Structures are given as structure tokens and as C-alpha cells.
Structure 1
Amino acid sequence: MQSPEIVAIVLSSLFIISTLAPFIKWDDWWIRVFDFPRLQLCIFGLVALVVCLTGFSFASPLSFIFTGLLLIGILYQAVKILPYTPFYRKEVIRFRGKEDHTNRISILVSNVLSPNRKARKLLHLIRRKKPNLVLTLESDTWWQQQLDTLEKDYPYTVKIPLDNLYGMHLYSNLELEDAQVIYLVKDDIPSIEAYVKLPSGKKIKIYCLHPMPPSPTEDDTSTDRDAELLLVGEKVKAREESVLVFGDLNDVAWSYTTILFRKISRLMDPRIGRGMFSTFHAHYFFLRWPLDHLFHSNDFMLNRIQRLPGIGSDHFPIYADLQYKPIAGMAQKEPEANGEDKQLAREKIARANPVNKKEKTKYTSKD
């Protein structure tokens, strides 16, 4: 066997194994990690295909088998990421009607990276974009001191400064009601639930999340992360109200867990048909995927969604501007869960043994 053929076999084998790994529904991090780099794997597969076409003599069936499996794998990876390209039908309609600022809401989400000290960059973005809601993740006491300069313009706040990489701060210039800090799966990883009141008087339920990722340094499995997402999905499903879910979900938009979450919650993704809006990793362009998300009920339309410039963190901030428009629900088809989806969600939640602890919340609001 010639060296080019050996290289072709090695590259195609690596690609095929990486493509097949996510089909194993184990929660182990070394399996779930292959959910993330589908674009990178697609490119790697194309490189392997070129090597196969130039390196194989095609004198044996093995050459045809490896090349055929490569083609199938490349097609599969492309299909998985296709919804997050402009070549796919848009799931959320862009709002083009008469301006109605009383029913408009904008959100900026930023995982700041606790050791990062470039707070001025984030504050500059906030003052430039003027979002209604600002959610920071990994924000500790130092970050809180920097962010508190926003309070003149954002008088409604929920502050959870932590040193464990799961601190969370919410600043709003719209009135918050019934804000609560919830510990869904672990007693040191918070989430925020609240109602935000639009100028029109309409109340929107919001969920701010940052579950623990599956990784060798944080959690050996995706069990807790998956359960946290699905617990919120069950909460959303159980209540007929307008909803926004946003944060760093430590999962990609095309993973089977995030898709299951969207089916259970019936929430929509404004990125579908528009782009990936990859927010991580900010420092390595060849290792990027969408980890920071915003999902909404089907009574919203999109004004704008945008990945913002870096602030020194390993995440780019993401910004979305939405229009509350109940009539949109007639034209926007929301995801739906079948019986198998619901059973799988129940099993994954039970496996995590969630704590569901509520903290007596002290949040500040305008008098």
C-alpha cells in the first residue's frame, strides 16, 4: 500500500468516526464533544475527500468504500448545519410593519470570562446598542462593580456575583416583576426567572441560563446540562405565555439536546435561515460554534440579530431585537414534540436528579 493511500485511509477513518460518534446517545463528554464542530468536520471531510480522490488508485473495493462513506458523511454534516445558513427557509419572520416601540424588546447577552478585565469594551457596546436587557455570565464581584455604572439607565437588576464561573447579572431598563434566582440542577449554578413588562403593559416571561458544559475540566457528562435545558422546556410548555429564553447554554444549536429542548418548549430560533452567529471561541476563528442563544415564543418577529465585536472574552456578545406581534403565530410554525421526544426528555431530567431550589431573591427595582 502506497503512502498516499495510507494517509487517505487515516483521514477518512478519523472523519467517519467523528461523524458516527454523536449517534451514540451516551452523555459522556468525549462523545458529546462531537456535536459541536460540525462545520469544521464538514471542511475536514472535504479535505479527506480530495486526498482520497488523488491518493487512491481505485483498484480495490476498499477505495470505493472509504470514498463512499466520506461522501455520505459530508452530506450528513452539511444537512445538520444547513438550517443555520442563508440557504434555508427562515423560521422567524422579519418585522417590516409600522414602528411600535411599545412592543419592542432588545437583549444583549455576554459571557464576560471572569478573569477578563476589559469591562470598558462591554460598557461601550451596551451604550452603543442600548438594549433593554443586558445579561452577563461568569460575572463576579469585580464585574459587578464595573457593571453597576449602568444602573442610572438600567434601574431593574438581579445580581448573582460568584467566583465559580457561574455568576450572572441581569440589568434592565424595563420593569421586572417576580424575579427569582433558581438552582435547577446544581445548588451552585443559578438561573434567573422573571417577568419583564413592555411599555405597552404586556408581560413577557424570561429565563436566563448558563448550565455547566460537558468537558474534562467541568463535568464528565452532559446529563446536568441537558436536564437544565429540558426542565426549562417543561416549564415553558406548561404555561401559555410569551417567553424569552437566553444565555450561554454550553450547547450548539444543532445538537439533539437543543433541538429536543425546542420541541418540548415550542420555542423558535431567529438564526434559522440567517446564519450561525457563532459566539465561541472568540480567539480562534477555526474553532467557532454558536454557544450563546436566544429563543422565543412564536408571538415575536425579528427586527435584528447580530454577533457583536469581541470584549476580551472567549465569547462574542450576541444581540437580538424582537417585536411582540401576536398575529405572527399564524404564520410562524413552532417546533413540536412527539411522544418519543417527551419520554426522552423525562428520562434525561430524571437521570440528573434535579434540586429545583429557589432562593429568596433580593433584586433592586425602580421606586
Structure 2
Amino acid sequence: MLLARLHWFCEALTSFPLQLTLGTIPFAIGFMIARMKWWAVAAGALVAINGLILLSGMPINRQSDVRDGPKLRIASANVRTDNRDHASFLKWAEAARPDVLAVLEVDARWANVLDELDFYPYQIVDSRNDNFGIALLSTQPFEMSRILFLADSDVPTIVARIRLEDETWTIIATHPLPPVGNDHWGARNRHLAALAALSKQQDGRVIICGDLNTSPWSPFFGDLLRDGRVKDSRAGFGYLGTWPDHQRLLWTPIDHILVSHGMVTTSRTVGPPIGSDHRPVSATIIDPSPK
């Protein structure tokens, strides 16, 4: 973890503390049985270190008993551009029916699929031929919406505002480049830094959602939380891995819903398979003390 700021591969290893913890336990036990004392100590230390890292990305504070205040049900789904299992996505969306839905990797074909969700009369769609098309769907009107390109990237981010009771909430949906290779790693890091600055600039409550291509154990994710003045809605709800869905032994949470401090998450779930390599995520957010 100390080396995660120095190289993309070192940071990638921080995404799998659960797997590293479970993977080193058999070695610790085996060395103990074989009475290989120092090897057992070393393996035990690795179990402890990885376990502590795992817990550091799973905060336990939660106030799910809060019921009063403006409430929003929000979800994010990376549908994967070449995924043709549209029926599974539509079935999930129709069953979940969040108030606001961010959809990632939207091309022209997926844009047509989104048109079938007629319970979302308000849609912002930027379809693209690469894997970075994006859409934001809502059951209620947007007071403002725009598409930005953070950190001089070619990757679109949607910023929109909706009104809940007497409050204005800003929704930011985004999908940075995957941090594989030094160039994309640097671009992803600049994107997250610009995202934090954008979040900090907003008046009122903020929700950031999307495939952020970073896990809770990355130091750059920590920077986003601190500098963007947001918190992880996963707090108190468990591990909630979302990717890669076709290799579940490697599951890690990279699809996120981040919320302003003071807001309360009363539910946080991972959805069923939708044919993508990602699972959708959903949350119910309440502001118990609206300003």
C-alpha cells in the first residue's frame, strides 16, 4: 500500500486485500503444522497486514434507522458496451426502479435500450463508440445538466441537479479510464483529482456515482473522499464486490456511490448479473438535516 502511489501495478494489488488475506491463511496454517516457525510468523504477519488493510476500506458507521428528510434512491450500472443481454438489464432496472440511474458504457445500441425505460422521462445520454458513453436517467426533472471533460480528458462526466423538497442535490456520474499502464493510470489519477475539486465546488448536497476504476483501498480513492468532501455509502454494509463478475474469486468494489457528509445511507446493495462484467449498485440516501 505504501508503494501504491509510485506505480500502477502496486496500486492494482491494493484492490484485492480480501483475496490476499484468504490466500495467505493456508500458508500460515501449513507452516505451523510443519513447525516452520519463522515461515509461519511471516505468513501470519501477512495475514494480519492484509486483514487490517481490508478492514480499513470497510468502515462500519451506519445510521440505517433514519427515516425523515429528503430521500433519493440512486443506482449505477456499467452495462458493458458489447453486452447484448439487454433483457437482464431491463429486468433489473424495471424491478429496482431507482429515482436516478447512471448508466455507463452506453453506445447507440444501448441508447435505444434506455428508451424502453419509459418511467424515466428525463434522460441525458452521451452515446459513444468506445467504452465511455454515459447516461443519467431520472424520474424527475433536472434543474441543470451539463457534460464535462475532467482534467482535459476525452472521457465525459455528467453533472446534473435535481430538487428534493426544498433542497438541491447535485448528481455527478463519471467513468475514468482504467488505470492499466502508466499513461492511463496518470489520466485516471488526474480525473479523480478533478472530480474531487468539482465535488468540493458544489453548493448543497452531492452524490458521485459510477465505475470509478479504483477500489476503496487505493490511496487515490482516499484522496477523492477527503478532497471531495464525500464519504463511501458502503460504510456498514459489507464488502459489496462488483467486478469482475465473470471471475468472482477476484471480486472487488470499483462501482461506487459517494455522498456528502451529513447524508445517511439507509440501504446499499449490489444487483444481480446483467450480462456485464460489472454488477449494478444501488443506494437509498436521506438527508436528515436539510439546510
Residue 118 (structure 2) pairs with residue 118 (structure 1): no
Cα shift at 1:187: 3.8
Residue 236 (structure 2) pairs with residue 270 (structure 1): no
Q: Which of 46, 52, 59 is residue 25 of structure 2 equivalent to?
A: 46
Partner-residue secondary structure (3-state), 2:241: coil
Partner-residue secondary structure (3-state), 1:159: strand
Q: Which of 72, 79, 82 is residue 105 of structure 1 equivalent to?
A: 72
Counterpart Cα distance in 1 of 2:105 and 2:144: 23
Corresponding position of 1:311:
274
One-letter code of the match for 1:50?
Answer: I
Corresponding position of 1:212:
177
Q: 317-326 vs 24-33, which deviates more?
A: 24-33
Change (3 A) 1:244 1:178: same
State how 1:1-367 maps to structure 2 within 5 Å: 22-58=1-37, 64=38, 66-83=39-56, 89-90=60-61, 92-97=62-67, 103-150=70-117, 152-198=118-164, 200-216=165-181, 220-326=183-289
Partner-residue secondary structure (3-state), 2:250: coil
8 Å contact kept, 1:210–1:249: yes
Structure 1: give runs of 5+ residues left out of the alignment. Answer: 1-21, 59-63, 330-367
Structure 2: give runs of 5+ residues left out of the alignment. Answer: none
Q: Deviations over 1:127-181 (max 9, x none)?
A: 111111111111100000111112x321211111111101101111121122111
Counterpart Cα distance in 2 of 1:203 and 1:240: 8
One-letter code of the match for 1:112?
Answer: V
Give 1 or 2: higher helix fraction: 1
Partner-residue secondary structure (3-state), 1:268: strand
Equivalent residues, number: 291
% same residue: 23
Cα shift at 1:83: 4.7
Cα shift at 1:26: 4.3
Partner-residue secondary structure (3-state), 2:188: helix
Counterpart Cα distance in 2 of 1:225 and 1:318: 21
Change (3 A) 1:25 1:126: closer
8 Å contact kept, 1:154–1:171: yes
Counterpart Cα distance in 2 of 1:325 and 1:249: 27
Q: Deviations over 1:9-65 (max 9, x none)?
A: xxxxxxxxxxxxx3224453322211111110011111221232234544xxxxx2x
Instruction: Compute the TM-score of the two structures, normalised by the length of structure 2.
Output: 0.93
8 Å contact kept, 2:215–2:254: yes
Cα shift at 1:68: 2.8
Q: Deviations over 1:223-280 (max 9, x none)?
A: 2112211212122224442110110000001211111111112212121222111110
One-letter code of the match for 1:53?
Answer: M
Counterpart Cα distance in 1 of 2:183 and 2:33: 40
8 Å contact kept, 1:177–1:196: yes
Change (3 A) 1:84 1:33: closer
One-letter code of the match for 1:185?
Answer: A
Change (3 A) 1:222 1:70: same
Partner-residue secondary structure (3-state), 1:286: helix
8 Å contact kept, 1:83–1:273: no
8 Å contact kept, 2:123–2:136: yes
Counterpart Cα distance in 1 of 2:161 and 2:190: 23
| Largest Rg, 1 or 2 | 1
One-letter code of the match for 1:254?
Answer: W
Name the Cα RMSD after superposition: 2.0
8 Å contact kept, 1:28–1:220: no
Partner-residue secondary structure (3-state), 1:243: strand
One-letter code of the match for 1:157?
Answer: Q
